[in-house]
């Protein structure tokens, strides 16, 4: 009984996913990957023809058996049927085809043109050899003689078809994985491979054609090849006729598809659709069945999109407002992407949303966002309120230094200083927020949590002061006196997200926690210490109050005082890098620091 219920619910989810296009997208992707694998192996076999026609034939027997004498044969046959059908359905479902990207348009046009180049080749290779005429045996010598000797125009069409199929597959592969960091790290090698494979295949095809022409010169060789293949003139005409028929059926299918699509859009346009409220500035009409991304781009409004609306890159994500409660739950594909970036419930993919009621959305990434932005920060750039640790640091007396030195010297010293501070923060595990004049703001615990962030901030303070000491030694001749710095560290709740304009955006934090950290940095000068740490950070890090005593101080802008730990020298703070599991307890032997009191 339970099994029946489970089966029914599973079937219902599957039917619903077909309606949403989710399962069809997965079928199209899976069949496309299988076809690309077959084409890659087939072209690699062509490339062997550079060595000789005989070697290409021997490799061809092995690879043919791999595809035809195993279950892969039936999977390949299913892929040949499913991939074009699901692809055509995807094209038919699109609301707009005239505003696609160049890559998308090229992929669609190349895919639609494949039958014009390879219909006869497909018929000869698949139908007559497996289902229609089992006595007919194809081989590289046969194809080379037919294409390069008996009908040279076929060689041109086959060569063009090779390029068309490969380009279509490569674009599809890029649309699938091009946004992934793992692909981008090896992007140049992938592009090199994408150029080399068809180049080698064409070179092998030309070499085999040249060898075939030489073989025909020898009396009787051409006739013997045709006889061994059991290819009669009648069979050749039948293959050509079947190829022409396939092209005609393809044209008829395209006419029906696009004609039906036009009628559907014309009918739907008569029905008033809901409204899309976009970015508080635009009110757009939603055509029935249209996605948010299609609607926005159709209105000539720039919106981030990398994967072509396939729900893979997450760059088009939006935050839904009013009307979001009426949206259906995410499909399987959308859930996978949203889960990857740890997106909250109110974040959805614009390319997957097909609202049926009025909806308010706000884009979360600028139109210039790249594929890397779809992964950056695992969604933390979308904005959230978390507990974290904020560190502020500032140079002492640098204003006087900048007035006494040439601009070149000032920029040189500042760049060295920024480089040193940035490395120290990164080594400690923090996030460099920004440089403010000669000051530094850094965030800790954004991903690791406040306790780990407190320890990371303390380690960063040690490394920053240590790095500044090394910088002073290296610039001793250029500095009248050593550079000094003060560091303030505070923790608490803050709003964290990517903020800015267009491409000038970065992860930052807002709130009282940030302001207090800045005030604590200013207190270091008044107290004559290098570091001032708030009591909450000291507690999170597990600092020993007997060695790092606390006191209450007045903080500018606050009616109440704040309990802090004032540390004379940052180097006397515990180094948690070698004792991550200690929970922040300082190790024996580290110097105790008594806060200097006013």
pLDDT at 218: 62
For 551, phi and psi rounded to 5 degrees? -150, 160
How many angstroms separate the CA atoms of 554 and 563, rounded? 9
pLDDT at 497: 80
DSSP class of residue 580 equals G
CATH code: domain 275-374 is: 3.10.20.30
For 557, phi and psi rounded to 5 degrees? 90, 0
How many angstroms separate the CA atoms of 433 and 55, rounded? 61
DSSP 481-513: S--EEEEEEEEEEEEEEEEEETTEEEEEEESHH
Cα 480 versus chain centre, distance? 50
How many angstroms separate the CA atoms of 556 and 519, rounded? 7
**Contact (CB, 8 A) for 305 and 337:** no
**Contact (CB, 8 A) for 567 and 486:** no
**Contact (CB, 8 A) for 469 and 454:** no
How many angstroms separate the CA atoms of 549 and 228, rounded? 96
What CATH class does 2-267 carry?
mainly alpha
CATH architecture for segment(s) 383-582 = 2-Layer Sandwich (3.30)
Nearest to 490 by CA among 437, 420, 558, 547: 558
pLDDT at 130: 56
Q: Taking the domains of the chain in order of start, what are their residue ranges?
A: 2-267, 275-374, 383-582
How many angstroms separate the CA atoms of 530 and 567, rounded? 6
CA R_g for the chain: 34
pLDDT at 539: 93
pLDDT at 565: 92
Q: At what angle do helices 72-93 and 233-269 cross, to 10 degrees?
A: 30
Sort 151 into a burial class: Cβ within 10 Å, 0-12 / 13-18 / 19+: middle
Shared fold status for 275-374 and 383-582: no
How many angstroms separate the CA atoms of 367 and 459, rounded? 38
pLDDT by residue, tens only, the chain of 598 residues: 333 344 455 544 544 554 555 677 788 889 999 999 999 998 999 999 899 888 888 888 777 777 777 788 888 888 988 999 888 888 887 767 766 778 888 999 999 999 999 888 887 776 555 555 555 566 777 778 777 877 788 888 899 999 999 999 999 998 888 877 778 888 899 999 999 999 999 999 999 888 888 776 665 566 666 666 666 677 778 778 888 898 999 999 999 988 888 887 787 777 777 889 997 778 888 877 788 998 888 888 888 888 777 787 888 899 998 888 888 888 887 888 888 887 888 899 998 898 988 999 998 887 877 776 666 544 555 567 889 999 999 998 777 777 777 788 888 888 999 999 999 999 999 999 988 888 899 999 988 889 999 999 999 999 999 999 998 888 887 777 888 999 999 999 998 887 776 667 778 899 899 999 999 999 999 899 999 999 999 999 999 888 888 888 888 877 788 899 999 998 889 988 765 433 334 433 333 333 333 3
How many angstroms separate the CA atoms of 83 and 35, rounded? 9
- Please list, in sequence order, all residues whose beta carbon lies within 8 angstroms of the beta carbon of residue 421, skipping any fewer than 6 positions away: 393, 432, 440, 464, 467
Q: At what angle do helices 102-122 and 72-93 cross, to 10 degrees?
A: 140
Indicate the SS3 state at residue 432.
strand
Q: What is this structure's pTM?
A: 0.59
Q: What is the residue whose two structure tokens read 């696009």? A: 258
How many angstroms separate the CA atoms of 436 and 434, rounded? 6
CB atoms within 10 A of CB 547: 15
């Amino acid at each position: 009984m339970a099994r029946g219920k489970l089966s029914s619910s599973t079937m219902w989810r599957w039917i619903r996913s077909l309606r949403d296009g989710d399962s069809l997208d997965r079928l199209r992707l899976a069949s496309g990957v299988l076809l690309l694998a077959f084409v890659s192996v087939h072209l690699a076999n062509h490339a062997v023809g550079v060595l000789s026609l005989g070697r290409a034939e021997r490799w061809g027997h092995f690879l043919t058996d791999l595809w035809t004498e195993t279950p892969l044969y039936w999977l390949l046959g299913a892929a040949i049927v499913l991939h074009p059908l699901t692809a055509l359905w995807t094209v038919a479902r699109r609301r707009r085809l005239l505003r696609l990207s160049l890559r998308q348009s090229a992929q669609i046009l190349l895919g639609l043109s494949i039958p014009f180049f390879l219909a006869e080749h497909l018929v000869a290779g698949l139908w007559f050899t497996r289902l229609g005429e089992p006595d007919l045996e194809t081989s590289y010598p046969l194809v080379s003689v037919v294409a390069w000797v008996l009908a040279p125009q076929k060689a041109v069409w086959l060569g063009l078809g090779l390029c068309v199929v490969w380009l279509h597959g490569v674009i599809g592969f890029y649309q699938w994985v091009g946004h992934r960091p793992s692909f981008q790290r090896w992007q140049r090698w992938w592009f090199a491979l994408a150029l080399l494979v068809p180049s080698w295949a064409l070179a092998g095809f030309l070499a085999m054609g040249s060898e075939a022409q030489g073989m025909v010169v020898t009396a009787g060789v051409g006739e013997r090849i045709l006889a061994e293949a059991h290819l009669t003139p009648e069979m050749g005409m039948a293959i050509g006729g079947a190829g022409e028929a396939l092209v005609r059926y393809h044209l008829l299918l395209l006419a029906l598809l696009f004609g039906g699509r036009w009628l559907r859009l014309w009918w739907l346009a008569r029905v008033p659709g809901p409204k899309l409220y976009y970015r508080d500035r635009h009110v757009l009409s939603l055509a029935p069945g249209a996605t948010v991304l299609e609607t926005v781009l159709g209105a000539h409004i720039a919106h981030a999109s990398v994967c072509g609306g396939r729900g893979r890159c997450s760059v088009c994500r939006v935050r839904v407002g009013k009307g979001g409660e009426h949206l259906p739950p995410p499909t399987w594909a959308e859930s996978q992407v949203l889960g990857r970036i740890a997106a909250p419930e109110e974040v959805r993919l614009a390319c997957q949303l097909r609202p049926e009621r009025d909806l308010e959305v706000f884009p979360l990434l600028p139109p210039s966002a790249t594929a890397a932005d779809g992964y950056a920060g695992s969604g933390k750039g979308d904005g959230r309120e978390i507990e974290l640790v904020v560190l502020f640091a500032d140079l002492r007396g640098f204003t006087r230094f900048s007035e006494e030195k040439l601009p070149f010297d000032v920029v040189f010293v500042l760049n060295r200083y920024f480089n040193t501070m940035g490395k120290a923060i990164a080594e400690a595990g923090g996030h460099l927020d920004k440089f403010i004049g000669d000051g530094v703001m850094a965030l800790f615990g954004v991903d690791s949590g406040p306790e780990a962030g407190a320890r990371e901030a303390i380690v960063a303070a040690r490394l920053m002061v240590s790095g500044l000491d090394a910088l002073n030694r290296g610039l001793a001749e250029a500095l009248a006196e050593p550079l000094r710095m003060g560091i303030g560290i505070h923790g608490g709740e803050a709003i964290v997200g990517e903020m800015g304009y267009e491409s000038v955006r970065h992860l930052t934090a807002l709130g009282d926690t940030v302001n207090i950290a800045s005030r604590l940095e200013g207190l270091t000068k008044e107290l004559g210490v290098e570091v001032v740490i708030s009591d909450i950070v000291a507690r999170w890090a597990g600092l020993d109050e007997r060695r790092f005593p606390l006191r209450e101080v007045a903080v500018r802008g606050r009616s109440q005082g704040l309990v802090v730990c004032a540390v004379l020298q940052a180097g006397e703070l515990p180094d948690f890098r070698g004792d991550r599991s200690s929970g922040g307890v300082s190790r024996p032997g580290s110097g105790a620091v008594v806060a200097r009191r006013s």
